[in-house]
Amino acid sequence: MPGNYKTTVETMEVAKKIKPKDGRKTTIHVVHCQFNALAGDNWMNVKSGAPHIAKYVNANEHVTLDLGQLIFTDTTTMTGDGPWQFALWNMTGNKWVNSDVEMEAGAGVVPYTFKKNNPANTVQWGIGLELALMIKDPWKVYMTTDHPNGGPFIYYPKVMAWLMSRQARTDTMRELNKAVLKRTGLASNYREYTFNELAVVTRAGTAQALGLKDKGHLGVGADADLAIYELDPTEWRPSKYKELEKAFAKAAYTIKGGQVVVKDGEVTATPMGATHWVDAKIPDAIEKDLMKDLEKEFKQYYTISLRNYPVEDEYLPVQKVHKAGGKWK
C-alpha cells in the first residue's frame, strides 16, 4: 500500500534493537522490497520510497533485501493476503481463487498484467531498479522478480540489462507513462553495474546470506556449479545491452557438480540430485522468550489462536490385519 516504506524502515529498526542473550548478531532480510517501498497517500499519487529504504540500508549492516523487480507482462499474484487479492479482483475483474484454512488472512491467486501506460505500474518498475542502484553495497541487495508476482524469472536477463545499462533503462522509460519520470529519481541515476557486481547480486550475495560456504564463488572447495555465457566482457559496452540480454538468456554451458549438463541449449546429461536435511533447533531459553512474545502478540492482534498455527506430529496406531476368506483386511 502507498506509504508502506515507513513500516519497512521501522521494521528494519526493530530488528536492529533485538539483542539475543547468546550474543549473536541479529539480521533481517526484506523480501521483494519493491512492493514494500511505496510512498504517497494513495494509488493516484503513489511515488518511490526507495531513497528512504536505500538511505537506511546504506547506513546499517544488519539488513539485506531482494528487489521484486516488476516486469511489464502477464503475471500471477500469489499471496497470503486474502483481502488484497479481493481488492485486486475488484480492480481487474480477473478470476480470483482464495483459500482460507485456519489462517489469519487466507491465501489467494489473481492474474495481473503490469502495463506500461499505468502510472502506478511504471512507478513500481522504477522503484525496484532504484533500490538496486541506490544501495551502494551489492552484497546487501539481490536480484529477484518475486516470481511470479512481479514477473516470471525468465525475464532475469532483461533485469540484468537494466542494471548494467543506463541506455537500456532510458529506452524503456521512453515507452512508459511519464509518472516514472516525475515520481521516481531513476532518470537522474547514472550508475551501471559491473559484471562483478552482477555476479554478487545474482549468486555470491545470496549464497553468503544463506551461509552456503560452497556456493556462489569460484575456488578450492566450492561446488563446480557454473553458467558460462557467450559474451566477452572486454568488448562489452552499455549501448550493446540487447546483446547482453540475448547472451544471458541462453547459457553456452551449464555445469553441475563439474559435469556439463546443458550445451548450447541441448541437455547433455541428467545427473542425480541430492537431498539435504537440516535438524534445526532453537536453544530452549530463546524459544521460551520467543513463545512468550508470540502469545502476547496473538492475543493483542490476531483473530485466531496461536494453537491454529503449529503442525503437530500425529502418530496413528498400527491396526492389526488378518486374513479372512482368503483376503487380507
Report pLDDT digits (tens) over 223-240.
899 999 999 999 999 999
How do residues 175-216 score in pLDDT, each as one tens digit?
Answer: 999 999 999 999 999 999 999 999 999 999 999 998 888 888
Give the C-alpha separation, 129 to 144, whole Å. 11
Q: What is the mean pLDDT of the chain?
A: 90
Phi, psi of 144 (to 5 degrees): -145, 165
pLDDT for 31 equals: 96
| Neighbour-count burial for 296-328, b at 16+ CB within 10 Å, e otherwise | eebeeeeeeeeeeeeeeeeeeeeeeeeeeeeee
Domain boundaries, the chain: 5-73+114-220
Closest CA to 192 of 130, 238, 128: 238
Q: What is the pTM of this model?
A: 0.86
Do 163 and 190 form a contact (C-beta atoms < 8 A)?
no
**Least confident among 113-122, 134-143, 282-291:** 282-291
Q: Kindly report the length of the chain.
A: 329
